[in-house]
Amino acid sequence: MTTIELVPKPATIKRMIDESRDVKSYVLEMNESLTMPALPGQFVEVSVQGYGEATFAVTRKSKGDREFTISVKRIGHLTKMLHRAATGDIVGVRGPYGNSFPVDDWKGKDILVIGGGIGLAPLRPVIDHILLNRKDYGSMEIIFGARTPDDILYKEDLKMWESDKSILLHKTIDVPFEGWNGRVGVVPAVIRDLGVKPDRRVSIVCGPPIMIKFTAAALRELRWPDDRIFTTLEMKMQCGIGQCGRCNIGEKFICKDGPVFSLDQIPEHAL
């Protein structure tokens, strides 16, 4: 990797979407005729001048590779600055980095997508890909959990998936909430309640670390083999290029060897 590849490239904020009380999505357009050829599961480093940079999954692409979307949860200094940004502002972008979900290897298989909170962001490109290539895959089931109804992301997407007869969608919130008439329970409990069997399926899991850990345990109880449970660990990264050492797990670096892994590729403590 050359030094010039590490220099952030300019991108313009074309549109901002309020997803929840603390999450916004940003549609970014690469400037100077540049493109963002990210695959499902890859990530970028986004910077605000004077405030540093942070890692974000590419959660959707549009207009070829010129525009792409990231979703930003307000949890730190840089993300607070992004939440104060306006349409037309310029940010820096490095990437795409990392490997991707092996969607071509999954052709002909049934797909189980399991997302928790902001963890749905890196999974949305997988869903988009399968819907664009529907004949190449079997059934698709989506389990999505949030703390409360106010924390539910991508509401328009969820409506579309719910109305799509080729998708079986389960939405749940962690605890009872006034006005909510849907399913209540954390995602691992829902998985056990549904009794989701491996059969000829692969599962893709992303959410808060504790959710991933207990979801993996629930799937294993239902006899899912580790090589058919996939996750992405981009939330553990910092520099994105294997230099800072923040994301090493044994001899592997999440940013260079991942962020996408099947569970048989990583030690248990990595979850």
Range(s) for CATH 3.40.50.80 in the chain? Answer: 110-270
CA distance linking residue 229 with residue 265, whole number of Å: 10
pLDDT at 5: 66
Range(s) for CATH 2.40.30.10 in the chain? Answer: 3-97
Whole-prediction pTM: 0.94
Angle, vertex CA 262, rays to CA 256 and CA 265, nearest 5: 65
Q: Do residues 79 and 54 touch, judged by C-beta distance below 8 A? A: yes
CA distance linking residue 35 with residue 67, whole number of Å: 8
pLDDT at 3: 46
Selected from 2.40.30.10, 3.40.50.1110, 2.60.40.1220, 1.20.1050.10, the CATH number assigned to the domain covering 3-97 reads 2.40.30.10
Q: CATH classification of 110-270 is 3.40.50.80, yes or no?
A: yes
CA distance linking residue 31 with residue 268, whole number of Å: 41
Give which of 69, 58, 153 is closest to 100, Cα–Cα: 58
| Residue entry with tokens 């992303």 | 206
- Transcribe 115-157 into DSSP letters: EEGGGGTTTHHHHHHHHHTGGGS--EEEEEEESSGGG---HHH
CA distance linking residue 162 with residue 141, whole number of Å: 10
Count the Cβ atoms, other than its own, within 10 Å of residue 177.
Answer: 14
Averaged over successive runs of 10 residues, the pLDDT of the chain (271 residues) comes to 71 97 96 92 94 94 89 93 96 95 98 97 97 97 97 96 96 96 96 96 96 97 98 81 77 87 90 79
Which residue type, as a one-letter code, is found at position 27? V
Count the Cβ atoms, other than its own, within 10 Å of residue 182.
Answer: 11
